[in-house]
Structure 1
Amino acid sequence: MLPLLDDIRLIAFDLDGTLIDSVPDLAAAVDAMLEDMACPPAGEAKVRDWVGNGSHLLVSRALADARGGEPDGQTLARAHAHFLSHYRAAPCARTRVFPGVREALEGLSARGLVLALITNKPAAFIDPILEALALRDYFQLTLGGDSLPEKKPHPAPLLHLATHFDIAPQHCLMVGDSRHDIEAGKRAGFRTLAVPYGYNHGEPVATSAPDGLVESLQELV
Structure 2
Amino acid sequence: MSAPSPRLIVFDLDGTLIDSRQDLCNSVNAMLDHLGKPELPDEVIASYIGDGASMLVRRALGDPEGDAHDEEDVARAVHYFLEYYRVHKLDFTYVYPGVMDSLAAIRAARHETLMAVLTNKPVNPSRDICDYFGLSDYFFQNYGGNSFHTKKPDPHGLVALIAEASALAGSRIAPAETLMIGDTDVDVLTARAAGAVSVGCSFGLAPERLAAARPDFMVDSPAGWTRVAGVPSPLS
Normalized against structure 1, the TM-score is what? Answer: 0.93
Residue 2 of structure 2 corresponds to residue 3 of structure 1: yes
Map 1:57-96 to 2 at 5 A. 57-64=55-62, 70-96=68-94
**Structure 2: runs of 5 or more not aligned:** 167-172, 227-232
Q: Is the 8 A contact 1:60 1:70 kept in 2?
A: no
Q: Is the 8 A contact 1:32 1:83 kept in 2?
A: yes
Map 1:20-59 to 2 at 5 A. 20-59=18-57
1:151–1:204: structure 2 CA closer, same or farther, 3 Å change rule? closer
Q: Which residue of 1 aligns with 2:195?
A: 189
Q: Which residue of 1 aligns with 2:107?
A: 109
**Structure 1 residue 204, shift from structure 2 partner:** 4.5
AA paired with 1:152? K
Q: Provide the aligned C-alpha RMSD in A.
A: 1.5
- C-alpha distance after superposition, 1:193-217 (max 9, x if no partner): 10112122x6252221211111112
AA paired with 2:181? V
**Structure 1: runs of 5 or more not aligned:** none
AA paired with 2:221? S
Normalized against structure 2, the TM-score is what? Answer: 0.87
Q: Which residue of 2 aligns with 1:146?
A: 146
Output the CA distance in 2 between the equivalents of 1:155 and 1:127. 20
Aligned equivalent of 2:210, options 193, 205, 211: 205
**Structure 1 residue 183, shift from structure 2 partner:** 0.5
Partner-residue secondary structure (3-state), 1:120: coil
Output the CA distance in 2 between the equivalents of 1:46 and 1:132. 28
**Structure 1 residue 103, shift from structure 2 partner:** 1.2
Q: Is the 8 A contact 1:174 1:185 kept in 2?
A: yes
AA paired with 2:191? G
Residues paired across the two proteins, number: 215
Q: Is the 8 A contact 2:151 2:157 kept in 1?
A: yes
- C-alpha distance after superposition, 1:51-96 (max 9, x if no partner): 000000001111117xxx9322111011111101100111111001
AA paired with 1:13? F
